[in-house]
Amino acid sequence: MADTATYDKIATTTLGSAASSITFSSIAASWTDLRLVIVPTSTAANDIQMQFNGDTATNYSYTSLRGNGTSAASSAQTTVANISWTLGGQIDSIPHFYTGDVFSYSGSTYKTILMSSQEDDNGSGIVGRTVGLWRNTAAITSIRLFTGVNFLTGTTATLYGIKSA
């Protein structure tokens, strides 16, 4: 089997001032999968959400599994206008850690995303996993991350590309 180095950093953003969204645009179809790594803080507790290619219609759905130190739960959201990392949890002033793997983002199927959330606030918090679906066969060329409040200065978001043989 031949092997090829294949894990590329596509772009990274570190906020120099508060903003309500971060957008990765003009994403080339050069890789097989995309991986997002996000460490946000916010001015107030809120969700962190994602949309593709500027699609604000209700073409998204997701299923989550999470635990908060007391109990575990799962739930699903259907026909919604975005995919949320924080179903049951929230970003806040303490840095949390989120990842998202977007599979076959330039392929012809609907797009499936595996997401993780790690939110610990020293006494409370949630660890979660989510599978999301964007019901669109178009290649993903932009990803918008947003929140109902502002991401704070220092919030980081990095987009990687992973290319298979």
Question: What are the beta bridge partners of residue 49?
Answer: 84, 146
Q: How far apart are CA 9 and CA 118, in angstroms?
A: 22
**Is there binding between residue 118 and other proteins (CB under 8 A)?**
no
Contact between 139 and other proteins by CB under 8 A: the answer reads no
Query: Which segment (18-26, 38-46, 88-96, 117-125) binds other proteins by CB under 8 A?
Result: 18-26
Grouping H, G, I as helix, E, B as strand and the rest as coil, residue 140 is coil
- Residue keyed to tokens 């259907």: 78
Q: To the nearest 10°, report the CA torsion of 45, 77, 139, 110.
A: 160
Q: Which one of residues 53, 74, 95, 138 is an interface residue with other proteins (CB under 8 A)?
A: 74
Q: Which residue ranges make up the site for other proteins (CB under 8 A)?
A: 1, 3-13, 15, 19-28, 30, 32-33, 61-65, 72-76, 78-79, 101, 103-104, 107-110, 112-114, 116, 129-133, 135, 137, 144, 146, 157, 159, 161-165
